[in-house]
């Protein structure tokens, strides 16, 4: 009774462990990666930082309000009398008029005026600064920040597109490893059947003992291959969960394999689409624009800066808001000579802009070449997948026929095992080439920014050579 209860408990544990695994389809896997993958989070953070830089650049050209508080104590006559004058606390006695006794006192130095003693002043001020002209520097700074924001947005889009491709590679990779594991399991089962057949034939005297030994060795190899395939499948699952950023307490399993069909467009059209929409180029274009705005910002330093400043002050001998006063002034700042620093900054910014433009031109040429190469690779992969499927079917049929002949004692076991090895290899090759064909099509879509997870279709329903027909 106790053993039965233990068996039930162990079964319940295995059932609960299996129920913890949750199947996720491709679209939700991509959404999970966009939401939780560290690279996606980093790209989103860079985009937020760029938006903050735009707000900062915009604010630098708008009026600003600054609050200021100063506390000072001095016995310097000029400072002391300016403090008391600002506090509106001066009297005639402070100027020594009490010691004035007529013309004969004109050369007398009144102590009240020359030695006023220590005077404390607490100044509170509200200062408003309005930029009026900065030579276009504030506007160039804003445009550069907006260009960097566009670059960050395009970079986030490029990260999402790349993650979509990597999720597809990991998602279908698990399905491919599952197929390889099934093939390895079928090979192991076939090896067990071959061993059983060899033992039966040996007992009947049809074959010699070496056939049994060969079948046993073949079974051991098949078991090792099955274990290796299971380990590869587990590695693929771990890679899938890593790329989508799955929580450690969730066992997410990919669903059925998917395919991404290509549009029926000529290679030249695909190249044009890539140049228009690829986020990688959008990043470089925005960076080149930001570099151009840096040139304008450097040139703006040669112009005068004009600001309007208005301030409201309070001055008192103790911390208090007393004796208010107002000041309005215009401030002109012009760096007329800077020993070549301004020219150097302009030259450096101009060189950086030219380098950014050259990088953009080089990336456009590389992208056109990449699209063409990816297109040809997709064509070749589609044809290879179709050929591998046909070869797998032929190898399976040849193996089946040789198995029948071996059971009748008409074929040596070495020929049977060679045929089965070719069958297993052809089945694995068919699975791998089909997987590679899907990734080749996805690479083309990634290059032209058309890799949309919503356009994915089940792999079984996808045409194997759709690209070859549309080329």
CA distance 56 to 148: 13
DSSP string, 98-115: GG--SGGGTT---HHHH-
What is the pLDDT at residue 108? 65
> Do 433 and 388 meet the contact criterion of CB atoms below 8 Å apart?
yes
Decide if 258 contacts 170 (C-beta within 8 A).
Answer: no
Query: Which neighbouring-strand residues pair with 126?
Result: 67, 312
Q: Provide mean pLDDT across the span 229-257.
A: 88
Query: For residue 325, what are the contacts with CB-CB under 8 A and spacing of at least 6?
Result: 86, 312, 313, 314, 315
What are the Cα distances from residue 318, in Å, to 117, 119, 164, 321, 468?
A: 16, 11, 66, 9, 88
Task: Report the C-alpha gap between 197 and 211 in whole angstroms.
Answer: 10
- Report pLDDT for 227: 95
Q: 277-281, long-range: CB within 8 Å, 24+ apart, which pairs?
A: 277/448, 277/449, 277/450, 278/158, 278/367, 278/447, 278/448, 278/449, 279/154, 279/155, 279/157, 279/158, 279/161, 279/449, 280/154, 280/158, 280/363, 280/367, 281/360, 281/363, 281/364, 281/367
What would be the CATH architecture of the domain defined by 21-58+138-295+342-470?
Answer: Up-down Bundle (1.20)
What is the pLDDT confidence band of residue 460, given thresholds at 50, 70 and 90?
A: low
What pLDDT is attached to residue 373?
A: 95
Residue 33 in this model has a pLDDT that exceeds 90: yes
Higher pLDDT residue, 355 or 99?
355
Quick one: pLDDT at residue 16? 44
DSSP 8-state class, residue 89: -
Residue 247 has pLDDT above 60, yes or no: yes
Given a cut of 70, whether residue 207 has pLDDT beyond it is yes
In the chain, which segments carry CATH 1.20.1600.10?
21-58+138-295+342-470
Instruction: Mean pLDDT check: name the lowest of 96-100, 283-287, 466-470.
Output: 466-470
Reading the block at residue 313, the tokens are: 């002050």
Q: Measure the CA–CA gap between 77 and 119, rounded to whole angstroms.
A: 9
| Dihedral in degrees, nearest 10, Cα atoms 174, 178, 184, 189 | 160
Q: Are 46 and 104 in contact (CB under 8 A)?
A: no
**pLDDT score for 89:** 85
CB 153 within 8 A of CB 49: no
DSSP 465: T
Provide the β-strand partners of residue 252.
22
19: confidence class by pLDDT, cuts 50, 70, 90: very low
Pairing of strands 325-333, 305-316: antiparallel
Answer whether residue 128 shows pLDDT above 90.
yes
The Cα-based distances of 463 to 223, 258, 261 in angstroms read: 34, 12, 8
Task: Give the pLDDT band (50/70/90) at residue 193.
Answer: confident
Strand, helix or coil at 369? helix
| C-alpha–C-alpha distance, residues 471 and 469, integer Å | 6
């Amino acid at each position: 009774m106790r053993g039965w209860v233990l068996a039930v408990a162990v079964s319940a544990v295995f059932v609960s462990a299996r129920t913890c695994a949750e199947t996720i389809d491709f679209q939700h896997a991509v959404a999970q990666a966009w939401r939780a993958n560290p690279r996606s989070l980093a790209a989103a953070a860079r985009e937020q930082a760029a938006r903050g830089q735009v707000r900062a650049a915009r604010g630098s050209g708008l009026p600003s309000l600054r609050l200021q508080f100063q506390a000072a104590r001095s016995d310097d006559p000029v400072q002391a009398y300016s403090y008391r004058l600002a506090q509106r606390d001066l009297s005639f006695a402070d100027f020594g008029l009490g010691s004035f006794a007529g013309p004969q006192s004109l050369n007398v130095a009144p102590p009240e005026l020359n030695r006023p003693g220590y005077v404390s002043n607490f100044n509170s001020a509200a200062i408003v600064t309005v930029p009026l002209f900065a030579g276009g520097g504030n506007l160039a700074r804003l445009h550069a920040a907006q260009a960097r924001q566009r670059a960050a947005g395009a970079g986030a889009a490029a990260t999402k597109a790349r993650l979509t491709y990597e999720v597809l590679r990991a998602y279908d990779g698990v399905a491919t490893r599952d197929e390889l594991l099934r093939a390895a399991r079928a090979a192991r089962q076939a090896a067990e059947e071959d061993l059983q057949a060899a033992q039966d034939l040996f007992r009947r005297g049809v074959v010699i003992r070496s056939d049994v030994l060969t079948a046993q060795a073949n079974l051991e190899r098949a078991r090792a291959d099955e274990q290796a395939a299971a380990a590869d499948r587990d590695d693929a699952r771990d890679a899938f969960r890593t790329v989508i950023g799955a929580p450690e307490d969730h066992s997410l399993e990919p669903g059925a394999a998917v395919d991404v069909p290509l549009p029926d467009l000529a290679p030249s059209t695909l190249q044009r689409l890539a140049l228009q929409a690829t986020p990688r180029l959008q990043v470089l274009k925005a960076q080149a624009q930001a570099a151009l705005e840096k040139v304008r910002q450097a040139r703006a330093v040669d112009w005068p800066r004009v600001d309007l400043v208005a301030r409201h002050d309070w001055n008192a001998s103790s911390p208090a808001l007393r004796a208010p006063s107002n000041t309005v002034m215009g401030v002109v700042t012009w760096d007329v000579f800077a020993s070549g620093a301004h020219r150097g900054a302009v030259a450096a910014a101009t060189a950086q802009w030219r380098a950014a433009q050259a990088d953009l031109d080089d990336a456009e040429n590389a992208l056109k070449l990449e699209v063409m190469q990816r297109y040809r690779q997709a064509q070749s992969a589609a044809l290879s997948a179709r050929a591998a499927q046909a070869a797998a079917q032929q190898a399976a049929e040849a193996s089946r026929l040789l198995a029948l002949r071996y059971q009748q004692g008409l074929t040596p076991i070495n020929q049977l095992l060679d045929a089965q090895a070719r069958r297993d290899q052809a089945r694995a090759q068919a699975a791998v080439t089909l997987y590679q064909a899907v990734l080749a099509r996805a690479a083309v879509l990634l290059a032209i920014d058309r890799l949309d997870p919503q356009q994915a279709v089940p792999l079984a329903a996808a045409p194997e050579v759709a690209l070859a027909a549309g080329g």
